[in-house]
Structure 1
Amino acid sequence: MSTVPGTSVPTSLDLTLDGGALTARLVDFPSVSGEEEALADAVEQALRGLAHLTVERYGNNVVARTHLGRAERVLLAGHLDTVPIADNVPSRVEGDLLWGCGTSDMKSGVAVQLRLAATVPDPNRDLTFVFYDCEEIEASRNGLGRLAAAHPDWLAADFAVLMEPSGAWVEGGCQGTMRVRIRLTGVRAHAARSWLGDNAIHHAAEVLGRLAAYQPRTVLIDGLEYREGLNAVDIRGGVAGNVIPDECLVTVNFRYAPDRSPAEAEAHLREVFAGFPVEVTDSAPGALPGLDRPAARAFLAATGDRARAKFGWTDVARFSELGVPAVNYGPGDPNLAHKRDEHCSLSAIAECESRLRDWLTGPVS
């Protein structure tokens, strides 16, 4: 492995390393969102050394594919970026744990992808490996979204596995998310003469009361239990310490089961907050788990028949919009994502790689 002179930052990747060691090398490449170029260069260079793959690049997104004429194509996807580093690079190993920024979310999953790309030259299904940038920031910059818009044919597949941290469980689909802003108005006045005004912040009491009384749904889809949630995530109001405020803004986040469409989610919020102005400020659809599909059933069987609902939004929703059923499956622990003490089990990385290899080399049911 070569490094940048005078530093421990690598410049290349050795795909003969085991999954844990390769994850460590990936962590040692700083790749905060928007700064993935060096890592994308190394991934592209490593993949171009594999004769059984064709490799294409779009920005800092790298796509590698087999062309074996198999009856089915499977896509494995992972993002290269991390949240900002919190004094947790370079990586370090303590026993079975690898510590460092991105170990769980999701450079361990990327390492598994790279290992499979390098060591499974004759899979039972054609394979597409997607490595993309800017997943951890605003959706408009998301590399997978840009690939879907510019090169949708690169993402064509019968089934997709997003290597998001899932603790080596299959996490089906994902929740939808919607944020709305409720604007409460009043009349500004001097606080010493409050009867001349109308306090907008006080009007938030009814909005908060409806939230406190709200009973979220629990929904069973394909045997997976999705729990919805409706919560105030921001409240702003006030002019000065001696002024009755004439405006208060309450932002509410709705995490909803994937049996609702965004339009249905919006209609539900307008019903909950009837009588108040509701403005949608952010929205992303959920994705159904699709575990009734043959490819998904085979994947579930090969990975231990352990499945649960995905709480949160992931890029499986993008695959759903493309008509590709997808699940989340990766060695990282989702509860450790973005934390200063982020780490991943080396044995989980090895287990995840082994199960995927068995699935991609065994008999096709």
Structure 2
Amino acid sequence: MTGDRLAARLLEIVDIASESRDEAALAAHVLEQLPDARDAGDTCVLAGVTERRERPLVLFAGHLDTVPAQGNFPGRLEDGVVHGLGAADMKAGVAVMMELALAVGSLDASVDVGFVFFGREELPFGDSSLTPLLEREPGLRSADLAIVMEPTDNELHAGCVGNINATWTFRGVAGHSARPWLADNAIHRAGRGIAALAEVEVVDHVFAGLTFREVVSAVTVHGGVARNVVPDECVVEVNMRYAPGTSAADAEAKLHALCDPHGELVIDGNAPSGLVSTGPLVDRLVAAGDGLTLAPKQAWTPVAELTGAGVDAINFGPGRPLYAHRRDEQVEVEALVKSYNTLERFLCA
């Protein structure tokens, strides 16, 4: 596969706006471009073989949506690099998927191959269109392996960490800033709680031979009324990432134990971790690459949705995690070619 073709395909889909909840135009484009594609509803498109037959079934999965634009739309090709919204996360992977879908009929593949395009991945876990799709299309759950084309810089990332978002509210008593001893400053209470949270050490967890890191962070702070008012409320948003092997309930309990002594914690969302998948097809993918090894995925990805539905899944894609969600989002054309060639060798092994 030529770099020019892959670059043109990527630039073509970068220039179709598809921010979360606005993926319909890109879904329609994918449907139009792939001869055997079908509309699976809810901005989801399926192509190729989508249920287990006599041979192993491998699915390629990729989300169509992007985060909001940051002055990086439309895209451009410059010096062997495609720039633009979603270039790395994860339209690079979608472009490779589309070209594989067009070529698979002429390849001497030794497995059946299907393609799953879906929306709303960049929104909270409960909004994703993939989990409902897996319920509507039971054949997908019979797959032997799903390759999620998330940005990994052409490395093989196994599993994924769980992701909790929570709201931490600190309450006090309002008063005049000239007489703060008559009030109870909620921002000061929040400061003490945040300082305690900052002292929590990173915890390494080994799961299936890979080391994942459990971390917790305060990510936003909202508080204050005016410069002469001691505030009676301060709200902090907290994010926690937890390793495979830790249940969603246990992770929430740990976060409550850290935060409850200082303020009121409410869990807003909890995306469970994804299991580490191994086996002959993963070994075959490792062998198809150039020095590929398994590494832990220190982020949340749809691998969690797939392994939760009983499908072995792995992360592999051409985008660089470094550029995901950035104003200068980009991917090298060379990375697209490397990804495509690795996956073609994998299919034809």
Q: What TM-score does the superposition give when structure 2 sets the normalisation length?
A: 0.90
Moved over 4 A (4+): none
What percentage of aligned pairs have identical amino acids?
A: 38
- Counterparts of 1:314 and 1:294, CA distance in 2: 22
Q: Is the 8 A contact 2:10 2:91 kept in 1?
A: yes
Once the two structures are superposed, the pairs formed by residues 172-191 of structure 1 within 5 Å of their partners are 172-191=158-177
Cα deviation for residue 42 of structure 1 reads 2.0
Q: What is the alpha-carbon root mean square deviation over aligned residues?
A: 2.3
Q: Is the 8 A contact 1:20 1:350 kept in 2?
A: no
The CA deviation at 1:155 is 4.5
Q: Report if aligned partners of 1:70, 1:125 keep a CA contact under 8 Å in 2.
A: no
Give secondary structure in 2 for the equivalent of 1:130. strand
> Which piece of structure 1 moves more, 282-291 or 195-204?
195-204
Q: Per the alignment, in what secondary structure is the counterpart of residue 221 of structure 2? A: strand
CA contact (8 A) 1:55 1:65 kept: no
Task: State the partner residue of 1:61.
Answer: 44
Report the Cα offset of residue 333 of structure 1. Answer: 0.9
Q: Does 1:114 align with 2:101?
A: no
- State the partner residue of 2:333: 346
TM normalised by structure 1 equals: 0.86
State the secondary structure of the residue aligned to 1:116: helix
Secondary structure of the structure 2 residue equivalent to 1:228? strand
What is residue 201 of structure 1 aligned with on the other side?
187
AA of the residue aligned to 2:98: L
Answer yes or no: is 1:259 the counterpart of 2:245.
Answer: yes
Contact 1:226 1:309 (C-alpha < 8 Å) held by counterparts: yes
Match for residue 281 of structure 1?
A: 268
- Matched AA of 1:360: L
The residue number in structure 2 matching 1:323 is: 310
- Deviation readout 1:91-123 (Å, 9 max, x if unpaired): 322232122222211111111111111112252
1:44 equivalent to 2:31? Answer yes
| Structure 2 partner of 1:312 | 299
Distance 1:196 1:259, change over 3 A: same
Task: Please report how far the alpha carbon of residue 254 of structure 1 lies from its aligned counterpart in structure 2 after TM superposition.
Answer: 0.9
| Superposition deviation, residue 253 in structure 1 | 1.1
Q: Which residue matches 2:56?
A: 72
The Cα shift of 1:184 comes to 2.1
Instruction: State the SS of the aligned residue for 1:112.
Output: helix
**Contact 1:70 1:124 survives alignment (8 Å):** no
Q: What are the ranges of 5 or more consecutive residues in structure 2 without an aligned counterpart?
A: none
SS of the residue corresponding to residue 161 of structure 1 reads strand
Structure 1's unaligned 5+ residue stretches are 1-14
Give the residue type in structure 2 aligned to 1:310. K
Partner of 2:16: 29
Which of 277, 301, 308 aligns to 1:290? It is 277
Of structures 1 and 2, the one scoring higher in RCO (CA 8 A, sep 6+) is 2
Distance 1:189 1:331, change over 3 A: same
Q: How many residues align?
A: 343
